[in-house]
Structure 1
């Protein structure tokens, strides 16, 4: 159960790293992103596809570029991550009752 959550967080981290690269270096292509991040081409391509489906980037002849929605998403991201971290913090079990094995 926790392993799946960890994998999802790792994938989200990759998607956000790819988005950050597009924001900072647009237009940018898969090869350059792969070389700079160390992620294989297929993982960068998948992240780009997810970001495109979310309307955060779009393809151009020179590479990926941001959309009108990108800045709104970035502005809201910190608050959403804080909310998620709060929920995760609430899920912690600080001490288990002594009769639980």
Structure 2
């Protein structure tokens, strides 16, 4: 169960890494993103597709560019991540709740 969560966090981290590079170097194409991140092209393509579905980047003839919604995404990202972290912190089992083996 935790393995799946760790994989999802890794994928989210990759999407954010790709987003930041687009934000900093727009327009930027798949080859440059792959070279800068060391990630294979298919993973870059997937991240770009997810970011496009979220309407924070868009394709253009010379690569990917951020949209007008990117600034709002950046402004709210830390608060949203903090809320998720708080939720995950609440999932811990305290020592008094640990299951005793029979």
Deviant stretches of 4+, over 4 Å: 96-99
* 5+ residue gaps, structure 1: none
Residue deviations 1:75-95 (CA, integer Å, cap 9, x gap):
000000000000111111131
In the TM superposition, residue 72 of structure 1 has moved relative to its aligned partner by 0.2
Aligned to 2:100: 100
Aligned to 1:82: 82
Residue deviations 1:36-56 (CA, integer Å, cap 9, x gap):
101110000000000001101
Q: Report the TM-score when normalising by structure 1.
A: 0.95
Residue deviations 1:50-78 (CA, integer Å, cap 9, x gap):
00011010000110000010000110000
Residue deviations 1:8-44 (CA, integer Å, cap 9, x gap):
0000000000000000000000001101101110000
- RMSD over aligned CA atoms reads 1.2
CA distance in 2 between counterparts of 1:87 and 1:80 reads: 11
Do residues 43 (structure 1) and 40 (structure 2) align?
Answer: no
* 5+ residue gaps, structure 2: none
The structure-2 alpha-carbon separation of the partners of 1:19 and 1:97, relative to structure 1 and needing over 3 Å to count, comes to: closer
Q: Report the TM-score when normalising by structure 2.
A: 0.94
Count of matched residue pairs: 101
